[in-house]
Amino acid sequence: MNQNRKKKISIVVPAFNEEAVLPEFQKRIQTVVNELPYDTEIIYINDGSTDKTLEILTGICKEDLTVKVLDLSRNYGKEIALTAGLDYCSADAAIPIDADLQDPPEVIPRLIEKWEEGFNVVYARRTSREGESWLKKATAKSFYKFMQRLGRVSIPENVGDFRLIDRKALNALKELREHHRFMKGLFTLIGFRQIAIDYSRDARFAGETKWNYWKLWNFSLEGITSFSIAPLKLSTYLGLMTAFAAFSYGIFVFGKALFLGDDVPGYPSLMVVIAFLGGIQLVVLGIIGEYLGRVFNETKNRPLYFIQDVIGEPSDKDV
């Protein structure tokens, strides 16, 4: 290996139907990247877009030789798209960033500064979230609170995927091949020297967010189930508590029949108890099912993604 070579940084950008923002994004990222005293490349991942994203990216690629495009075989979702980009990258550090300009590229030099101070992961923490509804902010906040209570790895609040990851951390990340990928959790899980810098998150430049509340709910489930088995434990205690309550109630009913006689009333209370227990059982089964489903998916051990094409020069691997 050449000791004196310039360090290389890859910017990794997952893009799904981003035709409206890509030209502007490329312009802004290019301005920032050109100023950097490093070798740089930009890796776009086309995550099965159905609009003109791929055409635009191919165009950008032709104009700029430091740009590469990984074209995935279909839409896999952001977490996998990002994984594909990080796998492909061979640089000394990678910086994942959203294509929608919500993460301002101008923050990148500050990330690099901390990296040069010796940190392995420098994550960008947003101090404000422009253009997001109070409901989204509130749900996000309670989700992080909940996760922090639950998990052994505490996921930092108000942090997205926008960060700098050095080679050491990237290699560690590469070994985590789970299918249910909650990237924020994985980034935390690997450890290493991590530090935050603050920035203010902008509103989306154009186009629409791919997240709706149903997706966010499922994303939260993913986060919880892949980093904690607390719900399973909770089920056990819930079961124990209801069993105890049922037992006490049984003694009460038995005593009452013994001392006061039994004239066969009690249909309503019976129904309440049956319905209540039935409900609890279904919920608990559901929780077990969530985990079982994930075990099922993981055991198949399928590759995480397939690549249709790599456009642009092959990246110059370490010589």
Q: Which residues of the shown chain bind ligand UDP in the complex (CB under 6 A)?
A: 14-16, 18, 47, 75, 77-78, 81, 98-100, 102, 209-211
Are 69 and 13 spatial neighbours (Cβ–Cβ below 8 Å)?
A: no
Helix (H, G, I), strand (E, B) or coil at 94: strand
* Rounded-to-integer distance, Cα 255 and Cα 218, Å: 47
Q: Which residues of 225-253 are buried (b: 16+ CB within 10 A; e: fewer)?
A: bbbbeebeeebeeeeeebeeeeeeeeeee
Q: What does the per-residue mask of binding to Mg ion show for 141-160, with x meaning CB under 5 A?
A: --------------------
210 binds, among ligand UDP, Mg ion, none (CB under 5 to 8 A by kind): ligand UDP
Contact flag: residue 17 with Mg ion (CB under 5 A)? no
Minimal distance in Å, beta carbon 256 to ligand UDP?
A: 57
* Contacting residues for 197 by C-beta, under 8 A, at least 6 apart: 107, 110, 111, 114, 122, 123, 124, 125
Residue number, 203 or 270, with CB nearest to ligand UDP: 203
163 binds, among ligand UDP, Mg ion, none (CB under 5 to 8 A by kind): none
Minimal distance in Å, beta carbon 296 to Mg ion?
A: 31
Are 21 and 107 spatial neighbours (Cβ–Cβ below 8 Å)?
A: no
Residue number, 219 or 291, with CB nearest to ligand UDP: 219
Tokens of 303: 């590759």
Minimal distance in Å, beta carbon 217 to Mg ion?
A: 18
Kindly indicate which of the ranges 90-98, 234-242, 271-279, 280-288 contains the residues binding Mg ion, using the contact rule CB under 5 A: 90-98
Are 39 and 33 spatial neighbours (Cβ–Cβ below 8 Å)?
A: no
Contact flag: residue 161 with Mg ion (CB under 5 A)? no
Q: At what angle do helices 22-34 and 53-63 cross, to 10 degrees?
A: 30
Nearest CA to 207 out of 28, 42, 52, 13 is that of 52
Minimal distance in Å, beta carbon 169 to ligand UDP?
A: 20
Select the residue interacting with Mg ion from 100, 103, 161, 166 (CB under 5 A): 100
Residue number, 41 or 98, with CB nearest to Mg ion: 98
In the chain, the amino acid numbered 46 is: N
Minimal distance in Å, beta carbon 287 to ligand UDP?
A: 27
71 binds, among ligand UDP, Mg ion, none (CB under 5 to 8 A by kind): none
Tokens of 272: 């309440």
Length of the chain: 319
Contact flag: residue 47 with Mg ion (CB under 5 A)? no
Contact flag: residue 102 with Mg ion (CB under 5 A)? yes
Max Cα distance, the chain (Å): 94
The residues of the shown chain that bind Mg ion, judged by CB under 5 A, are 98, 100, 102
